[in-house]
Amino acid sequence: MVKTLAAQIKEFKKASIITPLSMIGEVICEMIIPILMGRMVDYGIGRGDMSYIVRTGLIMLAVALGGLFFGVMGAVFGAMASTGFARNLRKAMFDNIQTYSFANIDKFSTSSLVTRLTTDVTNIQNAFQMILRMGLRAPVTMIVAMAMSFSLSPRLASIYLIAVFILAICMFFIMSRATRYFQQVFRRYDDLNESVQENVNAIRVVKAYVREDYEISRFDKAAANIYLMFSKAELNMAIVAPLMQTVVYTCILLISWFGAHMIVGGTLATGELMSLLTYCMNILMSLMMVSMIFVMITMSQASAKRIAEVINEESSLKNPENPVMSVPDGSIQFKDVYFSYTPGSGDPVLKDINLDIHAGESIGIIGGTGSAKSSLVSLISRLYDVTEGSVLVGGRDVRDYDMEVLRNEVSVVLQQNVLFSGTIMDNLRWGDPNATEEDCMRVCRMACADEFIEKMPDGYNTWIEQGGSNVSGGQKQRLCIARALLKKPKILILDDSTSAVDTATDAKIRKAFREEIPNTTKLIIAQRISSVKDCDRIIVMEDGRVDGFGTHDELLETNGIYREVYESQVGAGANADFDRPE
């Protein structure tokens, strides 16, 4: 975990080294100044030696200037190292998320990824800065003070050693318990965030069912859980400071007692006792610092783990070693394919699929809700890997291709489609960043999106809100189709992508496909028979199996399910659609 994170320091190594070194410089200056102050009082003021006062004062100012220099160095480089480290962490996470497969994405929720990229990184940033600026400074102070104490009186100094030892053991136990609590706190945080997010998203449902009180009680439970765990963790930590004080005060009393005896016995000077007590304070302060660093580390450990999880998550799909860089044609074969989202558990989603689709064919896919139509097509562009058997595109196993090459040739319009904030043009160019305006307009014509785009006040420069919330469902679908077309793929897959488009427009789009991209293999998942009727062949899916595969007329004769679906939709007004855009 530490290794994963530390690997991201990268170009900030220098800053990460300069910072603690500067802090040591500052510590040295800091240790000199009290000595100078003491001298100024003892020799200068005590003796009324004005020139000594001025001299020492000037030296002090010089040392203070040095301290300022080191301090500022430490401040700036510390900030640079920690914020830079945070930047690299975010980048490493985001970059890795981009390599995730669909299976990986399914594993993490969006809100959890957002928290990891923001809150968790901020925690690490703060902890890292603390470690850099205090991590070396505190132990150095402690060691110096300890060494000085030993040089004065090994017997008395050994009291410090014992005290530090006892403290270390206590701290270890407290910290390990606190770590556990803090980890739970973070999990509870996720619950709470989820509760808020759900309510913000589904407020209409909450209000429609008048479930405000119910939701409040649910939220209160989550809030109470956080309160409980956080209190536990912090109460646990609340012992630290008093414990430290107890140890230090005990030390002072013991040193005073034994020191008094030694002074009276003539083995210790009074000045030395004073110094020993001063060092005691120094040791205390630095121990406090160390424990604070521990707290920081403890609190950030959970964050570090969550970040490392994202960075270390390996994509479940790997590019082959010598990938095939071109797809010869748009033919598709399924050979004895079994597929399960979580292999080894439960019934496979797809069972015993064998299909042979020629390049340029148009294939309709029809089947009930949950009959695994989407799962079937998701294997073609290798969004998931088969559990058993193989899927071939252009005569080669999809796992042999370079993934980007494959996905550029197999264009999928997903069922749950997303537009991104940006202009319509920006969104279209996802398909091809170099597309000219004419290209974009051409695909929009094919997808019948041109009519409504041109009616918009800013035309192709109309701003699309996040998630495409300012265009209608049918408009969104047509934009998504246009976007997919811009890729000029060998295989085009439409996963229920015209469900919100009226039948006439739907037919127009299919006509455009037939005429303008005849050589592209087209797979069309639909609920409307009219959408697939004129396809070359139609696949009927039922319960993860292919129930029938043939032309419309063949299926009407031989396939019971198809006939049933057909009959449910046929008749007068079968083409009627009341969500027609004007």
Partner 1 sequence: MAEERVREVRMGRRGQMRGGPRPKVENPGLLLKRILGYVFKYYGVQMIIVLICIVLSVVANVQGTMFTRTLIDDYITPMIGQADPDYGPLLHAMGRVAIFYGIGILAGYTQQRLMVQVNQGTLKRMREDLFDHMETLPIKYFDTHARGDIMSIYTNDIDTLRQMISQSVPQLFNSAITIVSVLSMMLVLSIPLTILTLCMVALMLFVTAQVSKHSGRNFVAQQRNLGKMNGYIEETVNGEKVVKVFCHEEQAIKDFDELNEQLYQSAFKANSFANIIGPVNQQMGNANYVIVALVGSILALNNFAGFTVGALASFLTLNRSFSMPINQVSMQFNSIIMALAGAERIFNLLDEQPETDEGYVMLVNCYYDENGNVVETDKHTGQWAWKHFHKQSDQSVTYQKLEGDITFEDVDFGYTDDKMVLHDINLHANPGEKVALVGSTGAGKTTITNLINRFYDIQDGKIRYDNINVNKIKKADLRRSLGIVLQDTHLFTGTVKENIRYGKLDATDEEVIEAAKLANADSFIRRLPEGYDTKITGDGTNLSQGQRQLLAIARAAIANPPALILDEATSSIDTRTEKLVQEGMDKLMHGRTTFVIAHRLSTIRDSSQILVMEQGRIVERGTHEELLAQKGRYYQLYTGKNDALTA
What residues from 383 to 442 belong to the interface with partner 1 (CB under 8 A)? 383, 403-404, 407-408, 411-412, 414-418, 420-421, 423, 425-426, 430-431, 433
Within its chain, how far is the Cα of 192 from the centroid?
18
Is 441 in contact with 453 (CB distance < 8 Å)? no
**Nearer residue to partner 1 within complex by CB, 109 or 335:** 109
Q: Which of residues 41-80 bind partner 1 (CB under 8 A)?
A: 41, 44-46, 48, 50, 53-54, 57, 60-61, 63-65, 67-68, 70-72, 74-76, 78-80
User: Whole-number minimum distance, CB 351 to partner 1, in Å?
Assistant: 14
Closest contact distance (angstroms) between CB of 146 and partner 1 is 19
Which residues, other chains included, contact 111 with Cβ-Cβ below 8 Å and sequence gap of 6+?
190, 193, 194, 197
Distance between CA 495 and CA 403 in Å, rounded?
A: 20
In whole angstroms, the minimum distance from the beta carbon of 107 to partner 1 comes to: 11
As a whole number of angstroms, the distance between CA 539 and CA 533 comes to 11
* Among 35-43, 136-144, 168-176, 350-358, the segment contacting partner 1 (CB under 8 A): 35-43
Q: Which of residues 226-255 bind partner 1 (CB under 8 A)?
A: 226-227, 230-231, 234-235, 238-239, 241-242, 245-246, 249, 252-253
Query: From the list 141, 301, 505, 559, which residue makes contact with partner 1 (rule: CB under 8 A)?
Result: 505
Measured between alpha carbons, how far is residue 391 from residues 353, 373, 388, 401, 414 in Å? 10, 15, 10, 12, 19
The yes or no reply on residue 200 touching partner 1 (CB under 8 A) is: yes
- Tell me how far, at minimum, the Cβ of 402 lies from partner 1, in Å: 10
Write down the residue that tokens 């197999």 correspond to. 410
Identify any residues that bridge with 388 across adjacent strands, giving them in sequence order. 338
The answer to whether 211 contacts partner 1 (rule: CB under 8 A) is: yes
Q: Please list every residue from 349 through 378 that binds partner 1, using CB under 8 A.
A: 367-370, 374
Structure tokens at 397: 């196993």
Q: State the binding string over 252-291 for partner 1 (x if CB under 8 A, else -).
A: xx--xx-xxx-xx-----x--xx--x--------------
Give, for 40, the enclosing helix (H) or strand (E). Answer: none
Which residues 442-461 are close enough to bind partner 1 by CB under 8 A? 458, 461
Nearest to 332 by CA among 311, 361, 375, 304: 361
114 binds partner 1 per the rule CB under 8 A? yes
* Among 473, 514, 516, 560, contact with partner 1 (rule: CB under 8 A): 473
Q: Is 219 in the site for partner 1 (CB under 8 A)?
A: yes
Question: What burial letters (b/e) apply to 406-443, b meaning 16+ CB within 10 Å?
Answer: bbbbbbbbbeebebeeeebbbbbbbbbeebeeebbbbb
Query: Residue 262, Cα to own-chain centre: how many angstroms?
Result: 62
- CA 251 – CA 273 distance, rounded (Å): 13
Residue nearer to partner 1 on the CB measure, 336 or 463: 463
**532-561 binders of partner 1 (CB under 8 A):** 561
Residue with tokens 């430490």: 74
Closest contact distance (angstroms) between CB of 538 and partner 1 is: 14
Using CB under 8 A, which of 17, 43, 95, 154 touches partner 1?
95
